[in-house]
Chain A
Amino acid sequence: MSRSRALQSYVVARLLLAPLMLWTVTTVVFLLLRATPGDPVDAILGPKAPAAQKLALRSQLGLDQSLWQQYANYMGDLLHFDLGTSLTSRGQTVWDIIQQFFPATVELAFCSMVVALAIGISAGILSASRPGTIFDLGGRLFGIITYALPMFWVGMLLKLVFAVQLGWFPDGTRFPTRLLPPQGPTGLYVFDSILSGDFQALGMTLYHLALPSLTLGIVLSGIFERIVRVNLKQTLQADYVEAARARGIPERRILVLHALRNALIPVITVLGLTFAAMLGGAVLTEVTFSWPGLGNRLYDAISLRDYLTVQGIIVFVSIIIVMASIIIDIVNAYIDPRIRY
């Protein structure tokens, strides 16, 4: 079988596996939430409601049905792309909630990833290309320290120094309180302010994005630094690199055009999965900076036992992660000839 045909079969196989993965995730979420202590009826009516009102609502929501019946209803709704209605903010669909909170998470995840890649890859290259020097040692230390740092601690520290003490950055939130945020079709303030030509709003948005993105970016950069350093070091010792050196190709060109390209392949896998996971909400960063993202909303929904919202958000995030992992596998198979399928 030719490589392109084999690749096509691989892509089809991966895509066919996706529904199975999604079914597994949704079933596990359904069962886990039912096993969690706490009653959704209490979440809806609050602890003050009389028992008769609770009983009536339990029946109305179908919570008095058997687990199998509930599961069948749940899967039926999912097949119709119906994630349900929030139990606590009654009248608001889970899809509305996702639409409301997801853009903030996307913006934060994207900017953090840019910061993480810029710092991580630069530090990794510097460390790997100068073995045994202070840069190598510095790179190693940077990788270990940033990898080990608790996110909330870095967030609080940066916030205390740069927002509270020095006042260089805002101390949280997505946009200044007294101003109306950019209104637009995407919910992404950066895009919406550009689309409406409001560059002051764009500035405000970037100003508010800066510190949370730096926090998350710095913490995540350690992972990328370590991957780039280790892989680049190995690649720089490979035979084809030695051959390139023997042909008199400048070291810088070898590093950038030959070694780095191959060393970046594992980064794509980590990058894709990390980014997909962050789209589910970087809960700690969002809580530290009062960032109104999906993670923050998920945290609230869990505290309030809003099962349908929790379920809906997890299913949504699971779809993103499954799709991301499929894309990563395909991209890896495409660019790395060593991968067998």
Chain B
Amino acid sequence: MLTPLNVLTRLATRTPLAQRWRWRGARFYLSLCCCCLLLVVGCQPRPSEPGPSTTGASARLAIGTTGKVRTLDPADALELFSGNLLYNMGDRLYTYQSGTTELVPQLATALPKVSDDGLVYTIPLRENVVFHDGMAFDAKAMAFSLERFVKNGGQPAFLLSDSLDAVEATSATELVITLKKPFAAFTDLLAFSGLVAVSPQAYDIGPGKFEPSKFVGTGPYKLANYGSDSIRLDRFDQYWGDPPANPGVDIQSFTSSANLYNAFRTGSVDIAYQSLNPEQIDLLAKAAKKGDWKAITGPGSNITYVSLNLRDEVLKSPEVRQALALTIDRQLIRERVFNGQVDPLYSLVPSIFEVSKPVFQGDSNNANAAKAKELLRKAGYSSNKPLQVEFWYRSNVPSDGPAATTIKALIEKELGDIAKVNLKSIESATAYNNLDKGTYPMFMLDWSGDYYDPDTYIHPFLDCAEGSTAEGCKDGATVGQGSFYFSEKMNQLIDQQRQETDPAQRQQVFTEIQDLLAKDVPFIPLWQRKEYAFAQPDIQGVQLEPTQAMPFWPLSNSSS
């Protein structure tokens, strides 16, 4: 039969000469291809030694991360790493003085003038600021950015939609914001990474109208390339403030902490930031002490806690909740599970805030154990009728498993035969879907604050809009946390702290809130994370802000 393959074969093999030629030719071309390939691959410089066509590349800085950038749209970005990119590419009305928690104007020229009723904020704005697309910044553009943040309905929209009533540009350099109700932390909220000014030419207002792969703001860096695994930022030459110390930054995303660790060790990236596992941090920190590279540590705003479901028959009893809280030795968890890379947390408000009161830091462990046993006996439990409780954790969070196992062991050790903990795990996406249905009696979760104010660790945990002491919360933040906690007194205190403008008075209210938290125990705080970054020895200017942001503009390479 005549097929194309047969024809080709016959043609190629018609004569012995042709056949020999064919084989020689094939060998020749194969050898040539192999030689070319070997030359191309063999002559490649190591990644740390860029070739001639990459002039200037060595002055650029490469930052490695395992953080996924889901979106760069400020109206939809809520994750830490996206927030960090927006922090470097955009400007907000207010920011924090580098290295401190002091609020300073950024696109504003002064702190806001607040009306007596605490509802109207008048903000003077900076002039001579341009967007990355060349458009001039003014109050209208800022009003557009804030409105878009709320109206597009992205992940962080709730932060502003709860409090914002109206935004108005009264002149080119003055913005007036009206709130629905007084909110003491509003100026801090305006420093949230997503509340950056964006160019009205580049974005639209409307539900779901997002631009996940572009950013046009006013910050020191502009987005040069948004790749599938890397993001390239270039210095914005028309920036109104001090220019960055480097020509640009390249952010490389890795699929695992092991890949990030190896890339940093081989010099493929200059800085490794978010997230390495405890063993890798330990190894790098030890090598940093020998001078192999630099280790930078900063306080973290991420907290881990156990949510106690008050609808659960067993956990309904405050004595049981108090007893469980008393048995947890946070120092032991810190050493055994995290090699000292977390700090014990004795309140929902992390210790980075002055108002934090270590209300869960009891007496010595022995005394705690005795007190816990007494509380359980009071609640009706004994060796014959032991407390039995399910403790859930997220199976896809690597540190949750060892930590939950340690907590179970601690509870059973301290309470002896009076308590039995049944450990269970579930994937986080399923867990978040079921938390508000009251499926889990005890669940270990984590939380990162959205803005730099203790309110972000109180209101989303303890506030309940509708409920009763007997039935628990029906609608409110505590439902979403899987706790269903309701307390009239707590609601009053939360409202009070949100409206109180006097810092001393507000601190007093926060103290009362934390005391009530320790009494009612709807949550058991466990630990707060520390942030780590590692930099090659010739990299200068690496710093971690108290807000967890890493500014890129002071970074430079002393060898270039």
Contact = CB atoms under 8 A, between A and B. Distances in A.
B53 A198 contact: yes
Interface in B38-64: 40-41, 43-44, 46-47, 50-54, 57-58, 60, 62, 64
Contact of B60 (A57, A100, A178): A178
B266 A304 contact: no
Given A178-B54, A305-B429, A91 B229 contact: no
A89 B212 contact: yes
Given A89-B212, A92-B212, A170-B47, A287 B262 contact: no
A37 interface: yes
B339 interface: no
A333 to B, nearest CB: 11
Contacts of A174: 228-229
Q: For B225, B230, B479, which residue has the most chain A Cβ atoms within 10 angstroms?
A: B230
B388 interface: no
A48 B460 contact: yes
B25 to A, nearest CB: 15
Contacts of B70: 88-89, 304
Contacts of A184: none
B151 interface: no
Contact of A53 (B153, B229, B252): B153
Interface residues of A, number: 74
Contacts of A57: 153
Interface size class of B (residues with CB under 8 A): 35 or more
A49 B43 contact: no
B409 interface: no
B469 interface: no
Given A171-B259, A180-B225, A335 B209 contact: no
A188 to B, nearest CB: 13
B210 A290 contact: no
Interface string B11-38: 0010000010000000000000000010
B164 to A, nearest CB: 14
A172 B480 contact: no
Nearest to B78: A46
A192 interface: no
Contact of B229 (A3, A47, A173, A180): A173
A256 to B, nearest CB: 9
A200 B41 contact: no
Contact of B480 (A51, A88, A171, A291): A51
A142 B540 CA distance: 50
A21 interface: no
Contacts of B225: 180-181
B41 A91 contact: no
A30 interface: no
A235 interface: no
Contacts of A257: 9, 13
Given A46-B78, A51-B479, A177 B250 contact: yes
A91 B227 contact: no
Nearest to A46: B155
Interface string A246-260: 000000010001000
B270 to A, nearest CB: 9
A163 B46 CA distance: 11
A164 interface: yes
A243 to B, nearest CB: 17
A297 B68 CA distance: 11
Nearest to A42: B432
Interface in A93-129: 100-101, 104
Interface in B157-187: 157-158, 161-162
Nearest to B152: A90
Contact of B64 (A177, A305, A337): A177
A9 interface: no
Nearest to A299: B255
Contacts of A291: 229, 255
A314 B58 CA distance: 40
B207 interface: yes
A91 B208 contact: yes
Interface stretch (A67-75, A204-212, A317-325): A204-212
B340 to A, nearest CB: 27
B430 A37 contact: yes
A167 B46 contact: yes
B41 A203 contact: yes
Given A175-B230, A335-B3, 16 more contacts: A42-B432, A46-B155, A47-B432, A50-B162, A88-B71, A92-B213, A163-B262, A167-B46, A179-B50, A198-B53, A203-B43, A207-B41, A290-B254, A290-B255, A292-B227, A292-B253
12 contacts: A57-B153, A160-B262, A170-B47, A173-B263, A174-B229, A176-B47, A287-B256, A292-B227, A296-B255, A297-B228, A304-B70, A335-B5
A-B pairs with lowest CB-CB distance, top 6: A91-B210, A292-B229, A38-B429, A292-B228, A37-B430, A177-B62
Interface of B: 1, 3, 5, 9, 13, 19, 37, 40-41, 43-44, 46-47, 50-54, 57-58, 60, 62, 64, 68, 70-71, 73, 76, 78, 153-155, 157-158, 161-162, 207-213, 224-225, 227-230, 232, 250, 252-256, 258-259, 262-263, 265-266, 268-269, 396, 427, 429-430, 432-433, 435-436, 450, 460, 475, 477, 479-480
